[in-house]
Structure formats: C-alpha cells, structure tokens
Structure 1
Amino acid sequence: MVPFALGGMAAFAVAAVILLLAHGPSDWLRTAVAGLLVGIPGLITMLRHDANRRRRRALSHPEFRVTDPG
C-alpha cells in the first residue's frame, strides 16, 4: 500500500504546483495541499504498520526472512 500512498501524495503535489504556477482557483490549491498534508500521517502509519508486521512475523515464524530490495 505504501507505493499507492506515495503515488497519491505525488499526484497532489504535482496538482498543487500546477495550480500555484497557473494561478488556479484557490479552493483547488487548498484541496491539493490538504491532500498532500493528510497523506503524510497516513504514510507514516503504513510504514510503522509494515515494520511491526515484519517484526511480528519474524518472531512467530523464524524461517520467515524479509530481504530488503534496496
């Protein structure tokens, strides 16, 4: 789910920049900025949930290994 959250935040950021540069309607600009800002706590929550899930799975299933692709 993290890539979807990042994609949504990126879309809101791009929309905000376009609206800012084009002097678009201020209501739309505020909506784009709000979407970006609301996405930050959601992203943090998902990252913490994924880390805790990996930790719990490693404790309950010792044969389970998570490899970091990066």
Structure 2
Amino acid sequence: MGRTETAVELRTTVPEEIDRALAQVVALTGIAKTTLVRQALAAHLGAMGVIRPEVAEALRPVPTRGRGLATNRKKENR
C-alpha cells in the first residue's frame, strides 16, 4: 500500500446469533471481534471488486484484550 490508512470508526448492530458466533470464534482463536468483522467486511468488499486486494491483505489480527470475552465481563458485572 505504501501509505498509512486513516481509520474511521463505524458502529453497527448485529443479530444475537451473529454475536454468539463471533464470540465462539473469539474463544477458539483469541482474535478480537473487531478484527473478525473488519476481515469479513474486507473479504466481502474485495469479492465485490470495490476495494483492492492489498487492502484486505494488509489487515492484521488483533488479539482479544482484558479478562476474556466482553460478554463474559458483562455477566460478571451483573
């Protein structure tokens, strides 16, 4: 790519089933949900031909942080 990309915050909601599936993948891989969502979005946009392949390839996995899954922390705080 050769240049630094500026990150833009994007907020959205997903159905509970997708959230549960993401949580399972996080638990299995240790990769943060945000990374999984970014990778899926980049793969989809790449398949549609609206972004360059190197954009998706440049994404690096980010490990989950803290004491585990955010959903587990929410349960602990109740």
TM-score by length of 1: 0.39
**Larger CA Rg, structure 1 vs 2:** 1
* Structure that is richer in helix per residue: 1
- TM-score when normalising by structure 2: 0.36
